[in-house]
Amino acid sequence: MTIRGVLFDFSGTLFRLELGDNWLDGLMDDAAAADLLRQLTAPTGRLEGLPPELHEAWDRRDLDPDLHREVHLAALANIGVPDAALAGKVYDRLLEPASWQAYPDTAAVLGELKAAGYPVGVLSNIAWDIRTVFDRHGVAGLPDEYVLSYVEGRVKPDPELFRTGCARLGLDPAEVLMIGDSQEADGGATAIGCAFALVPPLPTIERPDALRSVLREHGLLPA
């Protein structure tokens, strides 16, 4: 069946959390801070060293904004952030629109898909309204739908979340391409018949045109 619409993941696909050096105010070296940031934004798996009593909350964090904050603050305290005020400051930076950088081809491909008449959705495991990030980058109006786990009460790779995304686009799953950075989470779309394309969650400066490349491969943008 011909691909007639696209669902995009958010973190590591359209945008990437990039806080720069010293974002932990010298609490750990740059390499350790970069690894922590990678773990905090990983679509699957648990934070290293997370106490067992927080495992269930961590697994459910993208279903509840309050739980998301609570478990992140607990995790930051566990790795040595010395006080609640600083942990709160660090957590708030994770949600600030200015902390999220767009991949170089994000705005262009969203605009080109819109102009070509393809319905587009963003489908994300997330516990806060990411439309603020899209708005900051001037692209909030380009996706037709935002399917967010904390609103829908389901997280990827739950097939029902992908079904919801396809239904919002008005398309059969076989007509939808899911693009994301996680085979385990985003690739779950294949269980209901969607096509899937994997992109690497590299720093934005290192991934100039991965979105455009996969859209060309699937015939949605001209070569």
> Which residue range is the domain that position 33 belongs to?
17-98
Whether residues 202 and 118 share a domain: the answer is yes
Question: 80, 98, 116: which is the final residue of a domain?
Answer: 98
What's the rounded Cα separation, in Å, for the pair 134 and 114?
A: 15
Give the chain's length: 223
- 8 A C-beta contact, residue 112 and residue 212: no
Averaged over 108-130, what is the pLDDT?
Answer: 98
Same domain for 123 and 213, yes or no, is yes
Q: Is residue 69 one of the residues assigned to a domain?
A: yes
Q: Point out the domain boundary residue: 69, 98, 127.
A: 98
Q: Tell me the whole-structure pTM to 2 decimals.
A: 0.90
Looking at the fold, whether 109 and 180 belong to one and the same domain comes out as yes
pLDDT tens digit string along 8-40? 999 999 999 987 655 555 555 556 556 666 666
Instruction: For 177-222, write each residue's pLDDT tens digit.
Output: 999 999 999 999 999 999 999 999 999 999 999 999 999 999 999 9
Q: Are residues 35 and 72 in the same domain?
A: yes
Residues 21 and 118 in one domain: no
Q: Band of the pLDDT at 42, cuts 50, 70, 90?
A: low
Task: Assign 90 a pLDDT band (cuts: 50, 70, 90).
Answer: confident
10 shares its domain with 35:
no
List Cβ neighbours of 15 (8 Å cut-off, separation of 6 or more).
Answer: 100, 101, 102, 103, 106, 133, 137
Q: Provide the pLDDT for residue 14.
A: 99
What is the per-residue pLDDT for 40?
65
Q: Give the count of domains, the chain.
A: 2
Instruction: Identify whether residues 107 and 134 lie together within a single domain.
Output: yes
Residue 82 confidence (pLDDT) above 60: yes
- The answer to whether residues 87 and 104 belong to one domain is no
CATH at residue 125: 3.40.50.1000
* pLDDT for residue 36: 64
> Is 32 inside a domain boundary?
yes
Is 222 part of a structural domain of the chain? Answer: no
Query: Does residue 148 sit within a domain?
Result: yes
Mean pLDDT of 112-129: 98
For residue 223, being part of any structural domain is answered with no
- The answer on pLDDT for 172 being more than 80 is yes
Task: Give the per-residue pLDDT at 48.
Answer: 62
One domain, residues 110 and 174: yes
Do 17 and 189 touch, CB atoms closer than 8 A?
no
- Coil vs helix vs strand at 21: coil
Tell whether 38 and 73 lie within a shared domain: yes
Lowest mean pLDDT among 25-34, 105-114, 160-169: 25-34
Query: 78, 98, 118: which is the final residue of a domain?
Result: 98
